[in-house]
Amino acid sequence: MAWFKRDKKSIDAATPPEERRVRTEGLWVKCESCRTIVFRKDLEANLFVCPKCQFHFKMNAKQRLEMLLDSRWTEHDAGMTSTDPLKFVDTKPYAVRLKEARKKLGMNDAVISVEGRLNGRGIVCCAMEFGFIGGSMGAVVGEKVTRAIELAIETRQPLVVVSCSGGARMMEGTISLMQLAKVSAALAKLDEAKLPYISLLTDPTTGGVTASFAMLGDINIAEPGALIGFAGPRVIEQTIRQKLPEGFQRSEFLLEHGFLDAVVHRKDLKAFIANSFDLLLS
């Protein structure tokens, strides 16, 4: 006869899964650069910049808008949704990817287009969302950015686009590649109207977005440490079979080689953009 008998259920069996989690889960974040543990609320208060090493964490599109714009803004074309013209399937159907991304993020595609104020000046601003299929540019992203440019021309307001993207959306094939020419043509009209455009490149900005509107600003700026390029560094190394220089395709490297006008710390972005518009519109 066994000398020990369990009379009660185990803690795991008696406690619901949601109550077994550690109460502090999600309150702390480890910096990807210096590995320092940072209190999440302190990180948010510091604009998602590590207080020890100044590493810039990723931000979503709405956080970008909250950081740059004074208060409220008016969103445009929020209801536009992508279709599945090619009935594309890789590890899962494109239609399923779209549905999952919309449900997870509460937005219809990878860019938010708004009208608001930056230091009291009316502007049109687009902010890309990397969480929506890698911030890729399909027909909706291209159309929304184009419409934002047309709105800027119509209302005589300057334009800011915050890029964060893996490039053109392969699931839409040639339709996605057409957006490069369409947005670039719209920006040419903005230039003809003598309205300034500031392009802010964040980590990462690659592919067709880099090859179009991200690099066509009157002033092109980037956050510290942002990965910016067309093909990724691993693809380039495998193609040319050479080791790339230290820091290749990071914003500091691009500034040194003349591809950017400035690398701006996140806490200084709003003032930098406001001062740039003052200069460009004077």
pLDDT in tens, the chain (282 residues): 555 565 555 555 556 665 555 555 689 999 999 999 999 999 999 999 999 999 999 999 999 999 999 988 999 999 999 999 999 999 999 999 999 999 999 999 999 999 999 999 999 999 999 999 999 999 999 999 999 999 999 999 999 999 999 999 999 999 999 999 999 999 999 999 999 999 999 999 999 999 999 999 999 999 999 999 999 888 899 999 999 999 999 999 999 999 999 999 999 999 999 999 999 998
* DSSP structure class, residue 227: B
The answer for residues whose C-beta is within 8 angstroms of residue 179's C-beta and 6 or more apart is 137, 138, 139, 141, 142, 143, 145, 146, 168, 208, 212
pLDDT at 8: 57
Is the sign of the CA dihedral 86, 89, 95, 98 positive or negative?
negative
pLDDT at 3: 58
pLDDT at 6: 59
Place of tokens 């003032």: 271
Buried b (16+ CB within 10 A) or exposed e, 54-80: bbbbebbbeebbebbbeeebeebbeeb
pLDDT at 214: 98
pLDDT at 18: 56
What is the domain partition of the chain in residue ranges?
A: 59-280
Q: Are strands 111-118 and 262-263 parallel, antiparallel or unpaired?
A: unpaired
The H or E element containing residue 6 is none
pLDDT at 232: 85
pLDDT at 233: 87
Q: Among the CATH numbers 3.90.226.10, 3.30.70.3460, 3.40.1180.10, 3.65.10.10, which is that of 59-280?
A: 3.90.226.10
The helix/strand/coil state of 162 is strand
